């Protein structure tokens, strides 16, 4: 693209000593220090020439041609220039010489540099790391002897000096010992600082960096296989294959021969082809528990005691299942859930028995007229819930129709997003266990809401397929037991699916670490709680850091709901609304909350936590309108309309309409209340001003060059630069609220 510079500021006019526009003024351009005319242009690409003289209209504004009305910007190239300003009769008003042209970038070149990492091999028993070769990786060849490596002074090397050491020695028992100078230490992981360290295994690598006073291990790579890995093995052999694939691994399953014997390998070793004709040896430790899958046999082996044991004797258990009955409320695509009725408990419309006739269905279970019947005597678990839209406080319960009694209730949901504008959705759960004492009893799901909502209170459609608004899974709590299997190794403790388990603490209400697996509140009165302090590790040692980092992701005022249920009695619960950004205190979190419903747990209660997120706030658009009215006359230049914007927003589109076909150019200025009033220096439209040119309407959604961001309280001024044939015009700015 051409190098150019704007030589006449936008919106600047030629005026006389009294500030009045000079009609027909001329702008004459010459090469600097000469009378040689210089061509200028109306575009920054220097393709639309204006000539060497630019004329102004009756308002003193540059136009594209003498006597014309099309306003223009003025650009010059890289040549320094002189500007002479005269009136229409060529009387000089001002002259400016030696004005710099655009920066000439034609001679610029782009260069790049790539970092280097020299690799140097050391094979002597004692040597020193250089202090003037940063980035070097030293390969320590220990085939002949062990090595002692002396570090340079971290002070001399300087802060940020980096080098690496790598152990190079197949089947070698020699070691690499590295050491700092007297008075300096080497920090390595949990080791806060030692004077020395070692490398002992082929391929083991460490990178060291100076902090100006000592050394730190910046990166470390082990040279062996770690416990607990599933290792892929090509085959079990006693002699090396003729042409092994690089990286292929083998288990030596007898007395080794050939190259393997020459290298001193032993039975049960894992050996890996290095792709260069050599081999890398891995020695499993006794009872390491390594598990290897041998591809040639399709069998898993585990290293137990001092040898590999086949795991091929493990057989699959016989098929077993948990009897369930799944009931659902659903509609065809695009059909809303229906009206939610306020007041007393209402029947929730479940009409689909999803797994009726399946092999795992509860025998005898039936569904008719929204009532569940035929459940055999026994204990049952219910997991499920339903979506409510714009209904404020909402709750579900299981009701025994036969005995006219409530079985249990679910948590209270709150489908709202902002103040009194109830337009959010919430999933309201129904979870619990109950006893069926008579197979003739009938049950139904019921709901209650505090705000009615017609048409879609029981769910807003998505139009992407079958609309599912509620699902309830009844399962037989008496699990079917499969055949006894072999006892496996002890695994780490997991957590309940879908839940985090925490222990409630009433030790204090201060903003401090509640302790691993615990949580506490900032107030002993549950309705006055404003903050939750909770460990990043749950009571089952699960890492919940990533979970807590997301609970404030929603752009809605209420980010979501934290539902705590007592593990032993799920009907005992506490629901808190997350209402602001959370704080990571490293190891525990501060979560701003507001009380929603439920009761304060007792000290040491084991609580199961679930989180119901709120959707993002909806997009709100508005229009800012400027009424430009000249009455019965043509709108005059410099006519203005002013508006203060009470909310933060972003301009998305500008629309200009007039009462008749004509021409008008409108500029928009913006500034703060403190700097009121805005002036032309505060223009936000750049060169894309709303313009009618022998037209009656105009719309621009591109807004090239515009400053589109508006802060709450900013003032906007619509200023008429020029108008012809128009008595009344309206400029509308479409904005999106932040």
User: What was the pLDDT predicted at 618?
Assistant: 67
Among 299-303, 358-362, 373-377, top mean pLDDT goes to 373-377
State pLDDT tens for residues 633-667: 899 999 899 999 998 999 999 999 999 999 999 99
- Token look-up 């050599």 returns 278
- Of the pLDDT bands very low, low, confident and very high (cuts 50, 70, 90), residue 517 is very high
User: Cβ(138)–Cβ(164) under 8 Å?
Assistant: yes
Among 104-108, 286-290, 406-410, 477-481, top mean pLDDT goes to 406-410
- In terms of pLDDT, which residue wins out, 724 or 620? 724
Percent of the chain with pLDDT over 70: 91
- In terms of pLDDT, which residue wins out, 615 or 308? 308
State the CATH architecture for 324-476. Sandwich (2.60)
| Cα–Cα distance list, 483 to 311, 347, 480, 670 (Å) | 18, 43, 10, 78
pLDDT at residue 9 is higher than 80: no
Fold match flag (324-476 vs 621-737) = yes
- In terms of pLDDT, which residue wins out, 313 or 483? 313
Least confident of 186-190, 526-530, 688-692, 716-720: 186-190
pLDDT at residue 196 is higher than 90: no
Q: Name the residue among 701, 699, 703, 692 with its Cα closest to residue 658.
A: 692
User: What was the pLDDT predicted at 416?
Assistant: 64
User: What was the pLDDT predicted at 352?
Assistant: 93
pLDDT at residue 339 is higher than 70: yes
Quote the pTM value: 0.30
Secondary structure element (H or E) that encloses residue 732, with its range: strand 728-737
User: What was the pLDDT predicted at 701?
Assistant: 93
CA angle at 230 for the pair 482 and 538, rounded to the nearest 5° = 70
State the CATH architecture for 1-111. Beta Complex (2.170)
User: What was the pLDDT predicted at 391?
Assistant: 85
Cα 528 from Cα 488, distance rounded (Å): 49
Least confident of 117-131, 212-226, 304-318, 414-428: 414-428
State pLDDT tens for residues 240-267: 998 888 778 899 999 999 989 988 889 9
Cα 670 from Cα 686, distance rounded (Å): 12
Q: Which tokens in the block code for residue 379?
A: 């204990």
pLDDT at residue 448 is higher than 70: yes
CA angle at 484 for the pair 479 and 488, rounded to the nearest 5° = 105
State pLDDT tens for residues 31-89: 999 999 999 999 989 999 999 999 999 888 999 999 899 999 999 999 999 999 999 99
Residues with Cβ within 8 Å of 234's Cβ and at least 6 positions away in sequence, in order, are: 244, 245, 248, 249, 250, 294, 295, 296
Cα 429 from Cα 415, distance rounded (Å): 13
Q: Which CATH class is domain 621-737?
A: mainly beta
- In terms of pLDDT, which residue wins out, 568 or 227? 568
pLDDT at residue 497 is higher than 60: no
Cα 309 from Cα 296, distance rounded (Å): 16
Q: What does DSSP assign to residue 275?
A: S
User: What was the pLDDT predicted at 427?
Assistant: 86
- In terms of pLDDT, which residue wins out, 144 or 111? 144
CATH 2.60.120.640 assigned to 119-221: yes
User: What was the pLDDT predicted at 582?
Assistant: 95
Cα 167 from Cα 201, distance rounded (Å): 6
**Every domain of the chain and the residues it spans:** 1-111, 119-221, 230-310, 324-476, 500-613, 621-737
pLDDT at residue 387 is higher than 70: yes
């Amino acid at each position: 693209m051409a190098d150019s510079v704007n030589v006449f500021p936008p919106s600047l006019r030629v005026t006389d000593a009294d500030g009045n526009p000079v009609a027909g003024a001329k702008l004459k351009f010459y090469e600097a220090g000469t009378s040689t005319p210089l061509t200028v242009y109306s575009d920054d690409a220097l393709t639309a020439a204006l000539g060497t003289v630019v004329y102004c209209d009756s308002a003193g504004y540059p136009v594209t041609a003498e006597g014309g009305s099309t306003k223009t910007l003025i650009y010059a190239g890289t040549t320094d220039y002189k500007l002479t300003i005269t009136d229409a009769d060529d009387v000089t008003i001002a002259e400016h010489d030696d004005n710099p042209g655009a920066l000439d970038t034609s001679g610029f070149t782009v260069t790049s540099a790539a970092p280097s990492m020299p690799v140097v091999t050391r094979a002597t028993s004692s040597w020193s790391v250089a202090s003037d070769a940063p980035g070097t990786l030293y390969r320590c060849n220990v085939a002949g002897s062990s090595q002692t490596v002396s570090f340079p002074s971290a002070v001399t090397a300087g802060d940020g000096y980096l080098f690496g050491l790598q152990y190079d020695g197949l089947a070698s028992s020699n070691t690499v010992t590295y050491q700092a100078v007297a008075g300096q230490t080497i920090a390595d992981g949990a080791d806060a600082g030692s004077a020395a360290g070692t490398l002992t295994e082929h391929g083991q690598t460490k990178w060291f960096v100076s902090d100006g006073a000592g050394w730190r291990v910046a990166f470390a790579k082990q040279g062996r296989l770690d416990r607990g890995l599933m290792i892929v093995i090509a085959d079990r052999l006693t002699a090396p294959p003729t042409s092994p694939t690089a990286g292929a691994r083998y288990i030596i399953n007898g007395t080794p021969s050939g190259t393997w014997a020459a290298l001193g390998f032993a039975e049960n070793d894992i050996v890996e082809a290095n792709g260069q004709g050599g081999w890398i040896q891995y020695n499993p430790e006794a009872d390491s528990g390594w598990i290897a899958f041998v591809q040639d046999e399709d069998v898993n082996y585990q290293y137990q005691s001092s040898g590999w044991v086949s795991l091929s004797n493990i057989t699959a258990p016989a098929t077993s299942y948990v009897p369930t009955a799944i009931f659902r409320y659903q509609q065809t695509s695009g059909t809303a859930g229906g009206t939610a009725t306020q007041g007393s408990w209402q029947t929730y419309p479940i009409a689909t028995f999803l797994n009726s006739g399946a092999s795992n269905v509860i025998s005898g279970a039936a569904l008719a007229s929204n009532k569940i019947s035929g459940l055999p005597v026994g204990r049952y678990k219910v997991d499920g819930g339903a979506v409510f839209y714009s209904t404020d406080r909402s709750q579900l319960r299981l009701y025994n129709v036969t005995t006219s009694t409530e079985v249990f209730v679910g948590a209270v949901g709150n489908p709202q997003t902002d103040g009194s504008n109830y337009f959010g959705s919430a999933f309201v759960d129904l979870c619990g266990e109950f006893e069926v004492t008579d197979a003739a009893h009938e049950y139904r799901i019921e709901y209650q809401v505090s705000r009615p909502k017609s048409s879609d209170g029981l769910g807003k459609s998505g139009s992407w397929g079958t609309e599912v608004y509620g699902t309830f899974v009844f399962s037989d709590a008496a699990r079917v037991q499969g055949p006894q299997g072999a006892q496996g190794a002890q695994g780490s403790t997991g957590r309940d699916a879908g839940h985090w388990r925490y222990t409630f603490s009433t030790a204090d209400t201060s903003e401090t670490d509640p302790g691993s697996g615990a949580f506490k509140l900032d107030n002993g009165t549950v309705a006055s709680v404003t903050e939750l302090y909770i460990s990043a590790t749950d009571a089952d040692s699960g890492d919940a850091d990533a979970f807590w980092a997301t609970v404030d992701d929603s752009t809605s005022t209420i980010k979501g709901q934290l539902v705590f249920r007592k593990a032993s009695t799920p009907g005992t619960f506490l629901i808190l609304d997350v209402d602001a950004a959370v704080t990571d205190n490293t190891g525990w979190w501060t979560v701003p909350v507001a009380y929603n419903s439920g009761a304060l747990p007792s000290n040491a209660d084991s609580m199961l936590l679930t989180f119901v997120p709120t959707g993002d706030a909806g997009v709100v658009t508005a229009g800012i309108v400027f009424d430009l009215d000249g009455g019965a006359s043509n709108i005059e230049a410099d006519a203005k309309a002013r508006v203060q914007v009470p909310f933060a927003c972003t301009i998305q589109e500008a629309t200009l309409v007039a009462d008749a076909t004509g021409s008008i150019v409108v500029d928009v200025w913006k500034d703060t209340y403190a700097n009121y009033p805005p002036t032309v220096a505060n223009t936000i439209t750049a060169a894309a001003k709303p313009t009618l040119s022998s037209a009656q309407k105009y719309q621009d959604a591109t807004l090239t060059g515009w400053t589109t961001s508006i802060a709450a309280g900013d003032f906007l001024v619509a200023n008429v630069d020029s108008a012809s044939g128009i008595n009344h015009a309206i400029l509308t700015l479409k904005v999106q609220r932040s």
